Amino acid sequence: MDPLVRASGLRGYPVLMRNMGHDPVPLLRRYRIAEESLDRDDTLVSLRSATHLLEASAEVTGCGDFGLRLSSHQSIDVLGPLSIVLRNAATIKDALSDVIRYMFVHSPGIVVSVNERSPVVKNTVAVSVDVHLSGPVVTRQNSDLCLADAHHFLRLFAGDKYDLRAVSIPHEPVVSRAVYERFFGAKLLEEPGGATLHIARNTFSANVQGANATFHQIAEDYIFRNFGAAEGSTSDRVRQVLRQTLGTSSDDKSGVAALLALHPRTLQRRLSEEGTSFELLKDQLRKQLAVHYLQNTRLTIVQISLMLGFPAQSALSRACRQWFDTTPSDIRGKHQKK
Distance CA 185, CA 179 (A): 10
More confident residue, 81 or 260: 81
Mean pLDDT of the chain: 90
- Which residues lie across from 31 on neighbouring strands? none
Q: What is the dihedral of CA 178, 114, 146, 140, to 10 degrees?
A: 60
**Predicted local distance difference test score (pLDDT) of residue 164:** 98
Q: 89-93, 216-220, 233-237: which range is least confident on average?
A: 233-237
The confidence band for 263, taking pLDDT boundaries of 50, 70 and 90, is: confident
Distance CA 79, CA 93 (A): 18
Per-domain residue ranges for the chain? Answer: 4-205, 232-337
Count other C-beta atoms under 10 Å from residue 107's C-beta.
Answer: 21
Q: What b-and-e string marks burial along 160-191, b requiring 16 or more CB atoms within 10 Å of the CB? A: ebbbbbbbbbbeebbeeeeebeebbebbbbee
The confidence band for 261, taking pLDDT boundaries of 50, 70 and 90, is: low
**Predicted local distance difference test score (pLDDT) of residue 6:** 93
Q: What is the pLDDT of residues 233-247, one digit of tens each?
A: 788 778 877 876 788
**Predicted local distance difference test score (pLDDT) of residue 177:** 95
pLDDT at 193 over 80: no
Q: Is it true that domain 232-337 has CATH number 1.10.10.60?
A: yes
Distance CA 44, CA 203 (A): 33
**Predicted local distance difference test score (pLDDT) of residue 337:** 61
* Residues in CB range of 137: below 8 A, 6 or more apart: 48, 51, 52
Give all strands (DSSP E) within the chain, no chain letters: 4-6, 44-46, 110-115, 124-131, 164-168, 187-188, 196-200
The confidence band for 295, taking pLDDT boundaries of 50, 70 and 90, is: confident
Q: What is the mean pLDDT of residues 85-103?
A: 94
Would you say 163 and 157 are in contact if contact means Cβ atoms under 8 Å apart?
Answer: no
Distance CA 24, CA 68 (A): 17
Q: What is the mean pLDDT of residues 97-107?
A: 90
- DSSP secondary structure string for all residues of 275-286: T--HHHHHHHHH
**CA 269 to the chain's CA centroid:** 27
Choose which CATH entry (3.30.1460, 3.90.1520, 3.40.50, 3.90.1720) describes domain 4-205. 3.90.1520
**Predicted local distance difference test score (pLDDT) of residue 328:** 93
Q: Which amino acid is at 260?
A: L
The confidence band for 249, taking pLDDT boundaries of 50, 70 and 90, is: confident
Count other C-beta atoms under 10 Å from residue 153's C-beta.
Answer: 20
Domain 232-337 in the same topology as domain 4-205: no
Q: What is the mean pLDDT of residues 39-64?
A: 94
The confidence band for 81, taking pLDDT boundaries of 50, 70 and 90, is: very high
Q: For the chain, first and last CA: distance in Å?
A: 47
Q: What is the dihedral of CA 91, 94, 95, 100, to 10 degrees?
A: 160
3-state secondary structure of 222: helix
Q: Which of 30-34, 56-60, 283-287, 329-333 has the highest mean pLDDT?
A: 56-60
Q: What is the mean pLDDT of residues 270-297?
A: 90
Q: 97-101, 153-157, 246-250: which range is least confident on average?
A: 246-250
Tell how strand 196-200 and strand 187-188 pair up.
Answer: unpaired
Q: Which amino acid is at 132?
A: H
- Greatest alpha-carbon pair distance for the chain in Å reads 69
Q: What is the pLDDT of residues 156-191, one digit of tens each?
A: 999 999 999 999 999 989 999 999 999 999 999 987
**Predicted local distance difference test score (pLDDT) of residue 58:** 98
pTM for this prediction: 0.73
Distance CA 204, CA 219 (A): 22
Q: What is the mean pLDDT of residues 92-96?
A: 96
**CA 36 to the chain's CA centroid:** 17
pLDDT at 314 over 70: yes
